[in-house]
Amino acid sequence: MSLKQRICPSILAADFTKLGEECEAVLAAGADWLHVDVMDGHFVPNITIGIPVVRALRARLPDAFLDVHLMISDPDQFAEEFIKAGADLISFHPETSFHPHGLIQRIKTAGAKACLSINPGTPISCLDYLGDDLDMILVMSVNPGFGGQSFIPSALEKISKIRKRFPSVDIQVDGGIKVENIAKVKEAGANVFVAGSAIYKSEDYRVTIEQMLDQVR
Ligand code: DX5
Ligand code: ZN
């Protein structure tokens, strides 16, 4: 089975003074999903955006796929609120949930796709008893908290181990992805690629997204 290769711009690197336009621009330039980085200043050392922004994006972009990456200490409390606001997919970190299996079930019951996000230092044994229920597995290739960090190479080995174990699940990679390294990440087994600064800090979003897709197709 061949999995679709998807490019997901992280809006964290967008110009927040014109966020709606910035989202429309990457979608018009060929982006597949909008990656929304939610940070609470507790699980990670940064505070970004939350439920009202997801609601506003959903209202402005009814057809966009909103991939919501929760880097918050209490996804058990807030995941369903994000889905009500318009999230199509929820990623959460296993360290943050008291009941990860139950949360995956609740996310799916609420009508969204469920994804577990694995930090650089988190072993893939966290997928035991959870992996088969997931729509996607997110391998963090930086420590979560900030855009613009350098790719951590051990993510490659982690991705290839996960790909062997779960041949048909979407594997997303997030952090430090650029035109120059996306091919080796794909080679390792990822098929969904988050890129923040590499797209939003580039001169031409379309050219950058096309260059990325050329590398992975
Ligand atoms: C990091 C976030 C990433 C980040 C990606 O905590 O989860 O999505 O914004 O940004 P770049 O592509 O600039 O590393
Ligand atoms: Zn992210």
**Distance, CA 176 to ligand 1 centroid (Å)?**
7
Residue 151 lies in a domain: yes
Ligand with an atom nearest the CA of residue 149: 1
Q: What are the residue numbers of the active site?
A: 37, 174
Q: Which residues contact 68 (CB under 8 A, 6 or more apart)?
A: 36, 38, 54, 82, 87, 88, 89, 90, 91
Question: Whole-model pTM above 0.95?
Answer: yes
Residue 18, both tokens: 């014109």
CATH number of the domain at 23, please.
Answer: 3.20.20.70
Residue 144 Cα to ligand 1 middle (Å): 7
2 pLDDT band, cuts 50/70/90, is: confident
The total of structural domains in the chain comes to: 1
Tens of pLDDT, residue by residue over 43-102, are: 999 999 999 999 999 999 999 999 999 999 999 999 999 999 999 999 999 999 999 999
> Averaged over 134-152, what is the pLDDT?
98
Please write the tens of the pLDDT for every residue from 12-44. Answer: 999 999 999 999 999 999 999 999 999 999 999
Chain segment 163-197, per-residue pLDDT in tens: 999 999 999 999 999 999 999 999 999 999 999 99
Residue 106 forms part of a structural domain: yes
Q: How far is the CA of 142 from the centre of ligand 1 (A)?
A: 8
Mutate to test the pocket of ligand 1, among 118, 146, 180, 199 (most ligand atoms within 8 A of CB): 146
Q: Is residue 156 part of a domain?
A: yes
Continuous segment of H or E residues that includes residue 70? strand 65-71
Asked whether residue 31 is domain-assigned, the answer is: yes
Residue 76 within any structural domain of the chain: yes
Q: Give the domain range for residue 206.
A: 6-216
In a domain, 1, yes or no: no
Q: Evaluate whether residue 130 is within a structural domain.
A: yes
The residues whose Cβ lies within 5 A of ligand 2, an ion, are 37, 69, 174
**Rounded distance between C-alpha atoms, residue 91 and residue 78, angstroms:** 12
Q: Is residue 123 part of a domain?
A: yes
